Amino acid sequence: MKIWGLRRTFSFVIMDGKSISAKILNDLKDEISSLKMKNYTSSVPTLGYLVNSSNAGSFIYYKKKEKTCHSIGIDTIGYDVIGKNDISELYGHINYLNANTAVNGILVQLPIFPGANEAEILDKVSLEKDIDGLTRKNMGMLFMKNSEPLFYPCTALGVFELIKSYGINPRGLHTVIIGRSNLCGLPLFSMFQKANSTVTMCHTATQNLKQITSQADILVSAAGKANLIREDMVKDGSIVIDIGINKINTGEKSLIVGDVDYERVREKTKFITPVPGGVGPMTIAMLLKNLVKAWKRAQNF
Amino acid sequence: MKIWGLRRTFSFVIMDGKSISAKILNDLKDEISSLKMKNYTSSVPTLGYLVNSSNAGSFIYYKKKEKTCHSIGIDTIGYDVIGKNDISELYGHINYLNANTAVNGILVQLPIFPGANEAEILDKVSLEKDIDGLTRKNMGMLFMKNSEPLFYPCTALGVFELIKSYGINPRGLHTVIIGRSNLCGLPLFSMFQKANSTVTMCHTATQNLKQITSQADILVSAAGKANLIREDMVKDGSIVIDIGINKINTGEKSLIVGDVDYERVREKTKFITPVPGGVGPMTIAMLLKNLVKAWKRAQNF
């Protein structure tokens, strides 16, 4: 029954990526120290990195990852390529990190080299150290049937850890994904499809977006557009995952918001991720989880 | 207006894969002979193959490909691995074909080796000779944004050649794909999505299949299930692509049919592919098109 002005609100659950990622990082810290003790190993899990500090935003983000590494017992070693304009030097650095057995995983913090083909650069990382999961072969293994990648791309993996934490099984549900990036949308397509969800991929050329999102049991927005998802586009009792990170100015101050009109949409949902504090914090935790996985494999743990 | 018993029928177009593929093969034949004359080359485009003749169906299918090769000026060279049970010998054959500069493309006719991991075997083919498009790296390049594979998997490419022949542009249309195989469903997901279609991937775990297929502007069925798609599951004026190949017994004789209840469904469509004579004949033509592409690249034509 629908009565004008009457509105059904659910008791929604806010998916708390901040505290879940903190717990994951704490577990990783314990795992690293206990493995080192049990196995009398002198090996320390080590992240190899390439960063270009001329991009302030990218450098701050790298520094956050570095700090998190150090806080749980992971070493870092790498290069700042600021001021270099020789791509073959960059490839030389990647080759050095590939060959160095003390390095367990390699992070190429994008943007790394102005005007370069990023997929080409990322593809130089060896498969076994590709903790971002973005080499072509790893992506093929993610995409293909009866096949698993060595590493799942971090943001997509973070979404899956998050829904798992809340006991959500996507099997048989209709998942609608907005945005088709290599980092988020495409890996999520593969992961939800392999988890037996029916998956619809929407993007900038999609007609009647509202008609499609209204059917979603799970709606994932990775469009990077504030207020894209309004109340009337969301199904009652659905699960909404917001991967957008958008800077908006409200008078004097600037705010970080997602793609979802959170205040209004949340009352229609069963589960929703906030921005910030939802998927965002999960991403770094998953990078370090992948690194520890690579370290354990290299150590035969 | 809907009147009981009144039924709207469209003047539908049958997409004639048989004659379109015959034309493509003829064009390839002309291209091969004119390139050979123009460039005074002694090189003949050559297919390297691996087949296991203990599987009768697979061997007949290979023989059909071989005959088509010969009819347009393509040589074949390869191995029948019947009775061999040494996987390293199989890998040795693939390595020989990879290294042989006279071989332009390699076909591994599946099933090739009982109980083997087929993705693992296919992945041994070198990227430049992977005319079936099924190596992991090629699949990653197909899947990823801002990226193209060296070769599109043949059946999926055949579907695209077919719709192109009839002037169909999938941009902005809603495409629903049923079936998620490496050969058909998954490559079609990537190709339709990159052609700016909104794409929904359905499969055996999909709930309310009818509700989803009824919204499809383009419906692609690659489920391998006779009569899966009935009249009431199809939108008026839609485009229906049937990739199913199913053997059914009707009294005395056995028939090949697709996934679609063709006789009834076709009257609701604008375009439809028959089975046989639709997508099927396109697949071999696309394999040879990929081979000629590989030959031209190797010859720097």
- The CA distance from A41 to the nearest CA of chain B, in Å, is 34
Residue A225: both structure tokens together: 């557009």
The string of pLDDT tens digits covering residues B213-247 is 999 999 999 999 999 999 999 999 999 999 999 99
Contact B104, B129 (CB under 8 A): yes
- Show me where the domains of chain A are located: 42-124, 153-280
Measured between CA atoms, the residue of chain B closest to residue A149 is B136
Please judge whether B180 and A193 are an interchain contact, meaning their C-beta atoms are less than 8 angstroms apart.
yes
Residue B137: list chain A partners with CB under 8 A.
Answer: 136-137, 140
Give the closest-approach CA distance of A250 to chain B in angstroms: 34
Q: Assess whether B86 carries a catalytic annotation.
A: no
Contact B140 A138 (CB under 8 A): yes
Residue A77 CA from chain centroid, whole number = 22
* pLDDT reading at B8 higher than 70: no
Q: Which residues of B touch A207 (CB under 8 A)?
A: 172-174, 198
Angle at the Cα of A278 from the Cα atoms of A274 and A282, rounded to 5 degrees = 175
Of B187, B185, B150, B190, give the one whose Cα is nearest residue B290.
B150
- Residues in chain A with pLDDT values less than 70: 1-9
Q: What is the pLDDT of residue B201?
A: 98
Residue A197's region, left for phi above 0, alpha for psi from -120 to 50, else beta, is beta
Chain B residues close to A222, C-beta within 8 Å: none
Active site residues of A: 65, 109, 132
pLDDT (tens digit per residue) in B83-135:
887 899 999 999 999 999 999 999 999 999 888 899 999 999 999 999 999 99
Angle at which helix B154-165 crosses helix B280-298, to 10 degrees, equals: 100
For residue A224, count CB atoms less than 10 angstroms from its CB and return exposed for 0-12, middle for 13-18, buried for 19 or more.
middle
Q: Which residues of B touch A186 (CB under 8 A)?
A: 143-145
CB atoms within 10 A of CB B77: 13
- Residue A270 pLDDT: 97
Nearest CA in chain A to B209: A198
- pLDDT of B66 > 80? The answer is yes
- Any bridge partners for residue A218, and if so which? A175, A239
Report pLDDT for A83: 87
Q: Do A140 and B136 touch (CB under 8 A)?
A: yes
Q: What is the mean pLDDT of residues B174-180?
A: 98
Neighboring chain B residues of A172 at a CB cutoff of 8 Å: 205-207
Chain A residues with beta carbon closer than 8 angstroms to that of B199: 200-201
How many angstroms away from the CA of A42 is the closest CA of chain B? Answer: 35
* B198–A181 CB contact, under 8 Å: no
Q: Give the per-residue pLDDT at A1.
A: 45
Q: What pLDDT, on a 0 to 100 scale, did the predictor assign at position A8? A: 67
Query: What gap in Å lies between CA A172 and CA A195, rounded to an integer?
Result: 9
Q: Looking at B16, B129, B130, B132, which residue is catalytic?
A: B132
CATH assignment, B153-280: 3.40.50.720
- What is the CATH number that goes with domain A42-124? 3.40.50.10860
* Residues B140, A143: C-beta atoms closer than 8 Å: yes
Of B174, B181, B212, the CB nearest to A198: B212
Which of A182, A186, A205 lies nearest to residue B196, judging by beta carbons? A205
Nearest by CB to residue B200, choosing from A135, A172, A200, is A200
Q: Which pLDDT does position A5 carry in this prediction? A: 66
| pLDDT on residue B85 | 78
* Smallest Cα distance from B286 to chain A, Å: 21
pLDDT (0 to 100) of residue A4: 63
Task: Kindly indicate the confidence band of residue B1, based on its pLDDT and cuts at 50, 70 and 90.
Answer: very low
Say whether B27 is catalytic.
no
Specify the 3-state DSSP secondary structure of B267: helix
Question: In this prediction, what percent of chain B has a pLDDT beyond 70?
Answer: 97
Q: Does residue B264 surpass a pLDDT of 70? A: yes
CB contact under 8 A, A198 and B198: no
* Domain A42-124 matches domain A153-280 at the CATH topology level: yes
Provide the pLDDT for residue B48: 98
Give the pLDDT confidence score for residue A114 in this predicted structure.
Answer: 85
Length of chain B: 301
pLDDT at B152: 98
Per-residue pLDDT, B31: 97
Chain A positions touching B202 (Cβ under 8 A) are: 198
What's the rounded mean pLDDT across residues B160-176? Answer: 98
Residue B63, C-beta contacts closer than 8 angstroms, at least 6 positions apart: none
d(C-alpha B292, C-alpha B46), whole Å: 9
DSSP string, A1-22: ---TT-------EE--HHHHHH
Nearest-Cα distance to chain A for B230, in Å, is 20
Q: Assign domain B41-126 to its CATH superfamily.
A: Leucine Dehydrogenase, chain A, domain 1 (3.40.50.10860)
Cβ <8 Å between A141 and B140: yes
**Of the candidates B119, B141, B172, which has its C-beta nearest A144's C-beta?**
B119
Q: How many CB pairs under 8 A join A and B?
A: 109
